[in-house]
Structure 1
Amino acid sequence: MQRNFIRRVVGTLCFLLLILTVHAQIYTVTGGKGTPILEVNENSGRFQVYIVYGMDNVEIQYTPTSNSYQWYRYKTKAGVAGDIEKIPSVLEGGKTIVRNIEEGYGYYVMEDDNIAKTSGYVWIIDYSKYAFNATNLYVDTEKSNCGKMYLGGDIEMKEMRYYNQSGVPGILKRKFDVTYQTMEQSQDKTAYLPKTVEVTVEDPFNAGIEAPFCDTDVTLKGDLFARHFGVEKTMTTSVYQAIAVEASLLIDTLSYTNATNMVAKGDSLSAPVEFNFKAVANTPVAAIFKWEIFRKEDGTEGEGTKLIDFNGEEVSHTFNQNGTYTVKLSVSDRTSQCTWTPDNPVTINISDSFLDVPNAFSPGTSPGINDEFKVAYRSLTRFKCWIFNRWGVQMYYWTDPSQGWDGKKGGKYVPPGVYFYVIEATGSDGKPIKKKGSINIFRSKSIDDEIIEE
């Protein structure tokens, strides 16, 4: 136990010593206007890029680990003859310092004349030479598209380029704060609501920003280096007429019976079914709505027969015929430059017809159990049923296949015995269905309800 404890302590001390050694090798840059920015810090400080504003009093400090050391600077690659030069330094308070720094160079210290003992490298960029400036800011309508919005204007934005010790170039990325208005879909997907976007982007001129869903002006602040040094620019465009569109499709069932005596078939629906289809979009930018409903023909390729071609935000349709239907929506902006379509069209399956008639029931005997005469069915677009006694007297008539006969006439149970039904219906294939037959009523003699005598 004691030996393991000592090992952990020694390991922790070694780790802390390593951290201190690494931090001791990091260069410190001061001077210029404000506080310099350490923008790049790679390999635990082995390569750094500092941004200063103006070169007044700029200096680099380093704490050497040897009494023998030399400062160098390079233009594109360290350690290459002809590209490096020695520079003088002063020693103050245990730190070696170089002054009279020039922008656009990399600096480093080599100890004991051994390249392996080079502690690290630091590159200096003077932001005052690269300060961002723009006039006549506007939204570039020729470049902007359905997904991106691009800014334009009279832009001054030089590349802030640097080279690491191996000669590999890099470019510092500027960042801008952009504010504009857009719209977003509500959580219940029933509306599009206003929204303010505040986003930080690297290049709104070339990389663009997300296109808005409403007309808006755009405010640009930046870049963030300029903000740090207190020289930030703020500009606002005139109002941009948005072209990006987005929508969702809402489906409401206006008329559909899901009765207990309906016999389901997979994921198919029983005709007739009336749907209302509604497009919820970022109006008024979204201004053109087109609906198409197709019926797939058996054994054929393509979309099938077009049933509806409708312009408007919503449309209703009743599906009476069995088959597979595709509902398509497209939404375009006021200028028809941008069009939105859902990732997948709506597919509706309407089942074929089915009708089965029971031959007996027992009204008033066991409530809830076989106490009503009902057909088992699906996809009947028309239905009529008559009940007659043996003398041809009509006992009951109804037109809704989800309903049935409770074995009563005039509010009183009819006597037990044999009765006859006649059914006329139309299936989802448009073909007529006719059925005739007998139905037996079973009743217990203990039931005291008054019975009609024929």
Structure 2
Amino acid sequence: MWFCFFIVNHREFRFAGFYKWWVCCIFAIMKRKYISILALLTTGLVANAALTVDCSLRKALSVTPPAGTGLNDIYIIYGGSETVLTYTSESGENNVKWLVYDERGGGYAEEVSTIDRSGAVSTFRNPRVNCGYIIEDGAKRSYFWLVDYSNYEFAINGVSFPAEQDCGSATLEVDCDCPTITYYSVTGVPKVLSREITVSYNTLEWNDDDAVYNGKETTETVANLSERMVLPAPLCDTQFVIDGDKFLSQWGLAKTFTTDILSASSIDFQTTATQQRRENGNEQGTEEDALGGSAPATITFSAICTDAVEHKEWQISKSQDFSTVDYRFNEETIDYTFDEQGSYYVKFIGSNSDASCTNESEVYTVSIGESLLDCPNAFSPDASPGYNDEWKVSYKSIVEFKCWIFDRYGNKMIEFDDPSKGWDGKYKGKYVKPGVYYYVIEAKGADGKEYKKKGDINILRSTRTDRNETTE
């Protein structure tokens, strides 16, 4: 056992604009065939070693391990007996020390005695595999793990699908030879080396711009294959292509397995509700920020479904919780006219063939307002074009309407049954004379209210001199 205490005293050492005194203390404890973890982690610098790994069977591969492992590299070889490790000392010394450790960690490392040395180059032939190494080059230490892939061969024998698939996921039952590649950190913590096996298959993806589901190939990457793999469910019938692993791929020996076709059971759909708007200047409650308003309100409800949606149903209810359903339609698209006052709730339900996957759309709220019917008592046809030159009622939620207009002698000037229409003050193509006329209206609102209205219409005299008027 030996003890080393070393102090370096730097004068006026400048760092980031400040003068500091620096004291560095290095403490190490060594025993025969034992290096304490304290010495391994605090002594010297961790640097990338000038190390080469040669394997005559296949090119050696290198993987950068996570920082927390303390390792500089992980090397993957094929056949340890055909491998040569060569290290060139950065200091040019020939006293580089090699140590090997197992799953217990670097604290149990033992020195390797079978090292060939030639000047600054040290060579290690036929190294032990699936273990860790430490190279001490003066004050620098490098740590790496050596994996012999021939102990972890990868092969897929078959893939099947269980009879029942969970909604939203696809389950694959895999018959494979794919042992976990385990390595250990400097402190003896087990880690798994990812094989990065890819599983590719087709699915559907919604395109908002085109309002359509497009086919898409998706790829999932897994660290290792297991007997039961669960992947995001495809939305169309598809095969699964398993390819890997990444080490075989780099050697140009990747293995590919294509499954049978899995019939899609997971579902998805998109829904819309579009109201047919009326541009009637005399109709109230036709705002476009909500569904409904003035009756009759005709709304198109549409659903665009993926392949596995077999059962499709639009439901209309006056109950917000759909405790009772007033109307059901087994179609993807319906046109429905709301002609009664009140609130309605509409949703779409879709499911696959055995109802193991069921989904519901958002709930659309349709509000039909109370009825309203007001009648003006004067207008001035042909006086100011575009301004008060037509007699029209102001209305909301009128579902039945009939209007007659007469002169003072009882002659019918016009008759119409659409509240959005009106009278332009003409009779048989010519403007009538100014004076008093009479209207009679029979109507019914969406709220069941019945209207029987009658009153005067005053036609104001025009200031124009070129009027063609009827004569009585």
* RMSD value, Cα: 2.8
- Structure 2 Cα separation of the partners of residues 166 and 27 of structure 1: 22
Q: Distance between the aligned counterparts of 1:132 and 1:24, measured in 2?
A: 30
1:163 aligns with 2:190: no
SS at match of 1:258: coil
SS at match of 1:231: coil
Partner residue, 1:316: 335
Kindly indicate whether the alpha-carbon contact (under 8 Å) linking 1:385 and 1:398 is maintained by their aligned counterparts in 2: yes
CA–CA separation in structure 2 for the residues paired with 1:351 and 1:35: 78
Note if 1:338 corresponds to 2:357.
Answer: yes
Q: Aligned match of 1:71 in 98, 110, 114? A: 98
Compute the displacement of 1:274 (Å): 1.7
Q: Which residue of 2 aligns with 1:103?
A: 129
Q: How does 1:382-393 map to 2 (within 5 A)?
A: 382-393=400-411
1:84 match: 109
Q: Which residue of the partner structure matches residue 432 of structure 1?
A: 450
Match of 2:155 among 133, 138, 148: 133
Among 422, 425, 440, the residue aligned to 1:422: 440
On the 8 A contact 1:26/1:120 being kept in 2, the answer is no
Percent identity of paired positions between Structure 1 and Structure 2: 35
Taking structure 1 as reference, are residues 140 and 173 closer, same or farther at Cα in structure 2, changes over 3 Å only? farther
Match of 1:150 in 2: 171
Structure 2 vs 1, CA of residues 61 and 271 (structure 1 numbering), >3 Å: closer, same or farther?
Answer: farther
Q: Within 5 Å, give how 1:272-291 maps onto structure 2.
A: 272-283=296-307, 285-291=308-314
Q: C-alpha displacement at 1:193, in angstroms?
A: 4.1
Q: Secondary structure at the match of 2:383?
A: coil
Q: Which runs of 5+ in 2 are unaligned?
A: 1-14, 17-44
Tell me, which stretches of 5 or more residues in structure 1 are unaligned? 1-6, 9-20
Q: Is the 8 A contact 1:295 1:304 kept in 2?
A: no
Partner residue of 1:228 out of 243, 250, 270: 250
- Matching residue of 2:143: 121
Distance in 2 (CA, whole Å) between partners of 1:109 and 1:54 is: 22
Contact kept, 8 Å, 1:26 with 1:46, in 2: the verdict is no
SS of residue paired to 2:248: helix
Report deviation, 1:170.
0.9
Please, what TM-score do these two structures have when normalized by structure 2?
0.81
- Tell me by how many angstroms 1:22 deviates: 7.3
Match of 2:33 in 1: none
Cα distance in 2 for partners of 1:59, 1:279 equals 65
Structure-1 residue corresponding to 2:315: 292
In the alignment, structure 1 residue 210 sits paired with structure 2 residue 228: no
Larger mean Cα displacement after TM superposition, 209-218 or 88-97? 88-97
Letter in 2 for 1:407: G
Aligned residue type for 1:398 = F
Contact 2:195 2:246 in 1 (8 A): yes
- 1:97-127 Cα shifts (integer Å, max 9, x gaps): 3232222211012345xxxx45231011111
Inter-partner Cα distance in structure 1 for 2:338 and 2:364: 14
